[in-house]
């Protein structure tokens, strides 16, 4: 079974630009979560989608948004990039079961200059 | 108080020894607990999940859960240099996982 696939793996953007990251979950997994990881803050929850609906949102500004498509693939968008948005963005998927663990993709390393 | 707390380490153990990693959480209603391993520059990899009090063993790994004391631990027996990584404790809260900051483990050969 293929794992969680995130594209692109690396991105370099300039302040003020916007970026879209993509995530394809494990086949059959309908929940997709996004996390931001930085050395100072660790893993911070961004949002979680299930059946194209955002069920949970972390404490991030409105510049961070996401969506999920009918095939469970998800995208997250960051507008008006700031230097502090430089981070590893991780997507994780899980089956419908509430107690199931998350399985992470390889992440997208975003550098904002 | 952070929701999930871990000692950042580094925890250094000699090869072949038992590494003991600890985690405490604040939400007494939490029911699902997980340990992830993260190598430098890589994404977190699930090692163990535990849902009820007591011990759960999987190969060289044992997870221990004590809900009354609100702590979770991970024991790694016969530690190997390849176990050197950051170990993340995670607690499920609703539909999201809340992570601790992670403990750096170094296994010296």
In which band, very low, low, confident or very high, does the pLDDT at A96 lie, cut at 50, 70 and 90?
confident
What secondary structure letter does DSSP report for B18? P
Distances (CA, A) of A112 to A58, A82, A105, B47, B106: 21, 7, 21, 32, 31
Assess whether pLDDT exceeds 70 at residue A90.
yes
Q: What value does the CA radius of gyration of chain B take, rounded to a whole number of Å? A: 13
In which band, very low, low, confident or very high, does the pLDDT at B85 lie, cut at 50, 70 and 90?
very high
B25-57 pLDDT, tens digit per residue, is: 999 999 999 999 999 999 999 999 999 999 999
User: Whole-number mean pLDDT of chain B?
Assistant: 95
Percent residues over pLDDT 70 in chain B: 100
Close Cβ partners of A14 (under 8 Å, ≥ 6 residues apart) = A81, A112, A113
Q: Do B95 and A90 touch (CB under 8 A)?
A: no
A108 close to A10: Cβ distance less than 8 angstroms: yes
Between strands A10-13 and A31-38, the pairing is unpaired
Assess whether pLDDT exceeds 80 at residue A82.
yes
Give the burial string for A42-69 (b: 16+ CB within 10 Å, else e): bbbbbbbbbeeeeebebebeeebbbebe
Q: What is the pLDDT of residue B96?
A: 87
Please state, in angstroms and rounded to a whole number, the distance separating the CA atoms of residues B33 and B68.
14
Q: What is the pLDDT of residue B81?
A: 97
Closest CA–CA distance from residue B19 to any residue of chain A (Å) = 22
Chain B residues whose C-beta sits inside 8 Å of any chain A C-beta: 31-32, 34, 36, 42-46, 49, 51, 88, 90, 92, 94-102
Assess whether pLDDT exceeds 90 at residue B94.
no
Which chain A residue has its CA at the smallest distance from B42's CA? A106
Close Cβ partners of A45 (under 8 Å, ≥ 6 residues apart) = A33, A34, A35, A56, A58, B96, B97, B98
A58-78 pLDDT, tens digit per residue, is: 999 999 999 999 999 999 999
In which band, very low, low, confident or very high, does the pLDDT at A97 lie, cut at 50, 70 and 90?
low
């Amino acid at each position: 079974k293929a794992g969680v696939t995130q594209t692109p793996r690396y991105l370099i953007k300039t302040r003020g630009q916007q970026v879209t990251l993509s995530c394809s979950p494990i086949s059959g997994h309908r929940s997709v979560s996004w996390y931001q990881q930085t050395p100072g803050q660790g893993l911070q929850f961004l949002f979680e989608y299930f059946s194209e609906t955002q069920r949970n949102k972390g404490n991030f500004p409105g510049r961070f948004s996401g969506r999920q498509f009918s095939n469970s693939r998800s995208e997250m968008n960051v507008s008006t990039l700031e230097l502090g948005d430089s981070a590893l963005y991780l997507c994780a998927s899980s089956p419908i079961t509430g107690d199931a663990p998350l399985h992470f993709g390889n992440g997208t390393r975003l550098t904002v200059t | 108080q952070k929701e999930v707390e871990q000692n950042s380490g580094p925890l250094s153990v000699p090869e072949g020894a038992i590494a003991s990693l600890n985690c405490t959480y604040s939400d007494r209603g939490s029911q699902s607990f997980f340990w992830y391993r993260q190598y430098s520059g890589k994404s977190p990899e699930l090692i163990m999940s535990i849902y009820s009090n007591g011990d759960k063993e999987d190969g060289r790994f044992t997870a221990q859960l004590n809900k009354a004391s609100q702590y979770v631990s991970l024991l790694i027996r016969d530690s190997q240099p390849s176990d050197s990584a950051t170990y993340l404790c995670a607690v499920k809260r609703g539909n999201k996982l809340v992570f601790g900051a992670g403990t750096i483990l170094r296994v010296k050969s």
